[in-house]
Chains A and B, each alone.
Chain A
Amino acid sequence: MSHRIVPLAITAYTVTCAAGSGRDAFARALQSRASGLRENDFADWPLPCWIGRVAGVEAAPLPAAWAAWESRNHRLAWMALNEDGFRERALAAIERHGATRVALILGTSTSSIGETERTYRELGDDGRFDPSQRASRVHETHALGAFVQQALGLEGLCLTIATACSSSAKVFASAQRLIHAGLVDAAIVGGADTLCGSVLYGFNALELVSCEPCRPFDAARSGLSLGEAAGFALLENIQVDKSAPRLLGYGESADAHHMSAPHPQGLGAEQAMREALARAGIAAGEVDYINLHGTASRQNDEVEAMLVARLFPANTHASSTKGWTGHTLGAAGIVEAVVALLALERGFAPGTLNARNLDPACGPQIRIDNAQCAVRVALSNSFGFGGNNCCLAFAAGTA
Chain B
Amino acid sequence: MSAVLDIGIEGIGVWAPELPDWLAAQSMFVENASSLAAPPPRPAATVLAPGERRRAPESVLIAVEAAQQACTMAHREARELPHVFASAYGDLAINDYLCATLARAPGEVSPTKFHNSVHNAPAGYWAIASGCTRASTAVSAGASSFGAGLLEAAVRVCGESEPVLLAAYDVAACGPLRDTIASRSVFASAFVLAPWSPRAVARARLQVGAGAATLAPLPSLLHASHTGNPATASLPLLVALARREPVSLRIAAAPSLHLNLEISF
Contact = CB atoms under 8 A, between A and B. Distances in A.
Nearest to A161: B139
B235 to A, nearest CB: 20
Contact of A127 (B102, B109, B116, B176): B176
Given A141-B119, A164-B120, A183-B155, A253 B133 contact: yes
Contacts of A133: 179-180
B90 interface: yes
Contacts of B208: 157, 183
A315 interface: no
Interface string A115-128: 01101110100011
B55 to A, nearest CB: 11
Contact of B135 (A123, A253, A260): A253
A61 B36 CA distance: 52
A120 B90 contact: no
Interface stretch (A12-20, A174-182, A345-353): A174-182
B179 A128 contact: yes
Nearest to B208: A183
B180 A252 contact: no
A385 B118 contact: yes
A261 to B, nearest CB: 10
A157 B140 CA distance: 12
A259 interface: yes
A164 B90 CA distance: 12
Interface residues of A, number: 70
A257 B128 contact: yes
Contact of A256 (B111, B130, B152): B130
A387 B136 CA distance: 9
A45 B103 CA distance: 11
Nearest to B207: A183
A164 B180 contact: no
A182 B130 contact: no
Nearest to B87: A141
A183 B180 contact: no
A162 B133 contact: no
Given A155-B256, A257-B128, A387-B128, A120 B100 contact: yes
Interface string B144-168: 0100100110011011100000000
B152 A206 contact: no
A141 B90 contact: yes
Contact of A113 (B95, B120, B158, B254): B95
A257 B128 CA distance: 5
A201 B113 CA distance: 12
Contacts of A117: 98-99, 102-103
Interface in B105-133: 106-107, 109-111, 114-121, 123-125, 127-128, 130-133
A109 interface: yes
Given A142-B141, A256-B131, A159 B152 contact: yes
Contacts of B132: 254, 256
B127 A255 contact: yes
4 A-B pairs with the lowest CB-CB distances in the bound complex, closest first: A386-B124, A202-B114, A162-B119, A252-B135
Interface of B: 2-3, 5, 79, 82, 87-90, 95, 98-100, 102-103, 106-107, 109-111, 114-121, 123-125, 127-128, 130-142, 145, 148, 151-152, 155-156, 158-160, 176-177, 179-181, 208, 210, 253-257
Given A100-B256, A387-B136, 15 more contacts: A123-B176, A128-B176, A159-B139, A160-B139, A181-B158, A182-B2, A183-B3, A183-B151, A254-B124, A254-B133, A255-B133, A258-B128, A386-B118, A386-B127, A387-B124
23 contacts: A100-B210, A100-B256, A120-B99, A121-B103, A128-B176, A139-B181, A156-B257, A159-B148, A161-B138, A161-B139, A173-B135, A197-B106, A198-B99, A201-B102, A201-B106, A202-B111, A206-B115, A207-B111, A253-B133, A255-B133, A259-B116, A386-B120, A386-B127
